[in-house]
Structure 1
Amino acid sequence: MKQKNLLIRIFFLLILSLPFSLSAQQTLSSLNQALRYSRYSRLGLKIIPLKVDNNQYRVQFLAEKIEENPDFNAYSFSFAVLSSYDQEIEPEDTQLFASGDLKFDTERHWVFEKNIQIPAGQDEAIVLFTALDTRQGDEYFFHLDLKSPYVGDHPTFGAYYANEVPFDQNYLNTGEALLFKTTQGPSIHSFFYPMEFEVPYPPMETKPAPVPKELEVVDQGDFLENVPKALDLEGYYFFQQDTSELAGLLIKTTHEAFPKVRDWDEMVQMVTYISTRKEHEDLLLAQDKKKALDQYWLKLTRNPEIAKDLIREYFRQVEFANILFTDFKEGWKTDKG
């Protein structure tokens, strides 16, 4: 009987210890990062590194407040520096952020900052930023390579909003301004690329896509840090401190309505992936784009009320894709979008 009771106790101890052993065996490769791309997320995480020297970085951790009036104490924030994507994330590798570590607490962001020194000779270093929603147990993750044989160097400067919170978007609306701050020297060099990527063809399209033969580059010269820099043109700005190096910061500038849709012509482009070639060509050639689009959605649904609901949801998803996946191209034009 005693032996049976002992076996039962051992069994329950093994069951209780299972979650701890599983969490100890988590790696970057195995983390579930689905919430990073969910429209129901309450937070948006970002890591922005500034290079100080070859092995030292000033790392800024941003948590964008998506839910209304969030409580800082409802979340547990932490970070870890790992040497590979397959390294097990152990509790001793993780450092917790407390309210005293907050550099900024604004209407839209919580911002932490840490100086991170990478050991000499270490070729790979990945920073992991984690936020745990203690109310529901949801975990948010964001990681970034500080050093890697496969990733280029990081710039020695950063872009900031007027309230000195680091710029954490993948795009900027034309006419808006940013502040730039550096860790080395007072000036930054600016290049401008006045181009736009065409809408990629649908996956089953066999016609070859057009490829631009020339790339126009406008050298805008130097400007000083800590002075607001307006980005007035629609295209791509590339900033560097040392133009002989590869490291720099690329910012895509978009029309003033982005990430929402600007006009009927843009709406026509955005239905290319749910249309036949003939349907889309007819929309492109239509004189009255609004009327042609109304007829297109009505033909698709055969019900005016369903058409209205579908239009709202479709372009809400377009906006969501633009927020999440805009990079070189608008988010809705990418594979993920």
Structure 2
Amino acid sequence: MTKIITKTYPMAKALVFMSLFLAPFVLLAQQTLETIDQSLRYSRYARLALKIIPVQEDERLFLLQMPVEKIEENIQFETYQFAYVVLNSYQEPITAQNLVPLSENDLVADTDFHYYFEKSVQIPEDQNLAIALLQVTDTRQGDIYYYHIDLMSPYIFGHPDFWAYYGDRIPFDQTFIQKNDPLEFKGRTGISLHSFHYPTQFDVPLPPMEIRPANVPREVVVNYEGEFFLNAPKSFDQEGYYFIQADTNSTQGMLVKTVHEAFPRVKDYEEMVDMVAYISTRREHEALMEATDKKLALDKYWIGMLKDEQTAINVIREYFKQIEFANILFTDFKEGWKTDRGMVYTVMGPPNEVYFRPNGEVWSYLSANSNSKITFTFARVKNILTPNYYILNRSRALQPEWFKSITTWRNGQMVF
């Protein structure tokens, strides 16, 4: 772990530092989880990626593991201001009075890839809803990053009393891992965990204006793979997803999605054919699926659609960059690009505004040369595998803007 050096300041500099540190928190007076715009968490140009991973140590006692991924190169701790809070509702004000600053002395680890904080929190007996929020402010531009997760709410089954860690002891801060890559699981009770493998493959989701119900598999294959020991490297050798539990009689567990070696990028031409479904006509996609030489068929598809080789190269680069970001941001037991949020993100781009509600997430896109917005609402669904499962509220009213975005892609004019 990097040695932490505590800096000393003359009184005048200390006062300036304190005023700068407190300013962003004062500006947040009366803001709530429902009113803060969290679009920066989905930006392609974010400098940090935040996460809160709760380990449930008792019914109302949680260890908040807070890794902050360093996307920006040559990052300096002093550039950012860190704080957290546990809220009792999505309507509770986020203020300087309840935000708890995190300083360099609070770092558990400072690695090449992460800052890592830990804090234990006890939820009062009379509190039935608890949401942990991590806030990081970039002091250069004033950008504010947020990440929140329910500790206690009607939308979660609870949290496991164990977690997985990378080789540098930083908590596993994503839901996917390449198969055969090792993780180390640690817990406070017991000596082993149980592993269940689901080899399920998922279809591409229906478009936003398709209101008929999606096909649901009548049965899901699950293979119990037995127990494995805590505090020892563990890898998973099959693609699909795994659900890890300490107690098979409980609903609490941890999801690990296993992916191919190229993920979150596209692996091969077969996968590329699947992914262009969002901007293809049905006839075009069926022809690609039936083609013997997928590379040749895709070359003809892109050039035929865009009429210019350089334009085609640019669009291919942008489209699959969107797929990559969708996979990073929205993968759960499905690949991110196959989720409803991943589908909208791929076609429409990063949303201009993102607002959370206890029961959902609302994205807005600002129309060019207009004050109007198009809004996508994702309903939150309680799911044993993940606390962050969302389904798009589909509507025929979304069709005009959806087709407009697809046309923009097909004309080579999509820019982010």
Deviation of 1:179 after TM superposition, in Å, equals 0.4
| Matched residue SS, 1:296 | helix
Structure 1 residue 55: Cα displacement: 0.9
**TM-score in terms of structure 2 length:** 0.74
Name the SS of the counterpart of 1:271 in structure 2. Answer: helix
Distance 2:209 2:56 in 1: 43
Q: How big is the alpha-carbon RMSD for the aligned residues of Structure 1 and Structure 2?
A: 1.6
Contact 1:50-1:183 at 8 Å conserved across structures: no
> Tell me, which stretches of 5 or more residues in structure 2 are unaligned?
1-23, 343-416
Secondary structure of the corresponding residue to residue 319 of structure 1? helix
The 5 A counterparts of 1:1-337 are: 23-203=28-208, 210-337=215-342
Pick 1 or 2: higher relative contact order, CA cutoff 8 A, min separation 6: 2
2:249 aligns to what SS in structure 1? coil
Amino acid at match of 2:71: I
Moved more, 323-332 or 57-66: 323-332
The alignment of Structure 1 onto Structure 2 pairs a total of residues equal to: 319
Does the 8 A contact of 2:25 with 2:96 survive in 1?
Answer: no
Per-residue CA distance 1:196-222 (angstroms, 9 max, x = gap): 112224445688754322222111121
Q: Could you say if the C-alpha distance between residues 268 and 206 of structure 1 is closer, same or farther in structure 2, counting changes exceeding 3 Å?
A: farther
Amino acid at match of 2:316: I
> Identity, % of aligned pairs?
54
After TM superposition, the runs of 4+ consecutive aligned structure 1 residues lying more than 4 A away are: 19-22, 203-210
- Closer/same/farther in 2, CA of residues 92 and 206 from structure 1, 3 Å limit: closer
TM-score w.r.t. length of structure 1: 0.91
- Stretches of structure 1 that go unaligned for 5 or more consecutive residues are 1-18
Structure 1 residues 104 and 210: alpha-carbon distance in aligned structure 2, compared to 1, 3 A threshold = same
Task: Name the aligned partner's letter for residue 276 of structure 1.
Answer: T
SS in 1 for 2:52: strand
Give the direction of change, closer, same or farther, for the CA distance of 1:332–1:150 in structure 2 (3 Å limit). Answer: closer
Amino acid at match of 1:167: F
Given that residues 205 and 340 in structure 2 are in contact (C-alpha distance below 8 angstroms), is that contact kept between their aligned partners in structure 1? Answer: no
Deviations 1:88-136 (A, max 9, x none): 1121211101101100111110000001111112111111100000011
Q: d(CA) in 2 for partners of 1:62 and 1:169?
A: 11
Does the Cα contact within 8 Å between 1:202 and 1:272 map onto a contact in 2?
no
The structure that has the greater radius of gyration is 1
Deviates more, 1:165-174 or 1:211-220: 211-220
Task: Give the Cα separation in 1 of the matches to 2:265 and 2:155.
Answer: 34
Query: What amino acid sits opposite 1:102 in the alignment?
Result: L
- Please tell me whether the aligned partners of residues 123 and 149 of structure 1 are also in contact (alpha carbons under 8 angstroms): no
Question: In the alignment, which residue of structure 1 is the partner of 2:380?
Answer: none
Give the structure 1 partner of residue 389 of structure 2: none
**2 CA distance for matches of 1:145 and 1:214?**
30
